[in-house]
Amino acid sequence: MKHTHVTLTGVCLAFVAMVMLSNDLSAFTQHRSRKYMGKPHYGSSNQRASRSMSHARDYSRDLYYYARDAHIIDPKIAKSESTELGRNIEATKKELATIRKEYAGDKEVLASLKLIEDHLKNATTQHKTLHTECQMDTFDGNAGMKCCSDITKELEKAMAEHAALMRKLEIKELAKSKKETTPKK
């Protein structure tokens, strides 16, 4: 009899756990489906911009460490890394232009975008110097490290501002969706 009671209790607990998990998963699924059905609408361009900035920063860091640690720097590798770094900076700029069009009437978003674009402009200036260095027959590791360090700093500032923008947009979207779902009196 005691064994049956323990087994029955275990089955009940398992059932309760499944119901609770089911409710949590249901809420999660609803949140995810709202997100991908166009809400939040700021998602895809911002996600691509974030990913491109992250990749650019990674290339900048990688080239910095390569220049610092390599016994002999292969200019072809430096040039390849620099090319990808520049490509990702340009991809970020294109995504930000899309976001700028989407939020043309939102002064707060436009102000944040301006700050991000200013950091990207500074990173682009440093990248041009770096890429010129990469065209040489021999790569000056110290000059390359300095450029990469400056690029990384600018990209990290842009990424921080972009993350703050994403939080602002998420808060706006949540407030908007709460207004839409709150019953009127």
In a domain, 106, yes or no: yes
- Distances in Å between the Cα of 37 and the Cα atoms of 33, 113, 170 are 6, 25, 15
DSSP SS3 for 117? helix
pLDDT at 34 (0 to 100): 46
User: What integer pLDDT is reported at residue 17 of this predicted model?
Assistant: 57
Does any domain span residue 38?
no
Q: Is there a domain that residue 149 lies in?
A: yes
Is residue 138, in this structure, part of any structural domain at all? yes
Q: What are phi and psi of 38, to 5 degrees?
A: 110, -5
Positions of the chain with pLDDT lower than 70, given as ranges: 1-43, 184-185
CATH number for the domain spanning 55: value is: 1.20.120
- Structural domain including 151 reads 43-162
pLDDT tens sequence across 63-83: 999 999 999 999 999 999 999
Q: Are 103 and 109 in contact (CB under 8 A)?
A: yes
Query: Does residue 120 belong to any structural domain of this protein?
Result: yes
pLDDT of residue 45: 82
Residues 6 or more apart whose Cβ sits within 8 Å of residue 136: 75
The domain tally of the chain equals 1
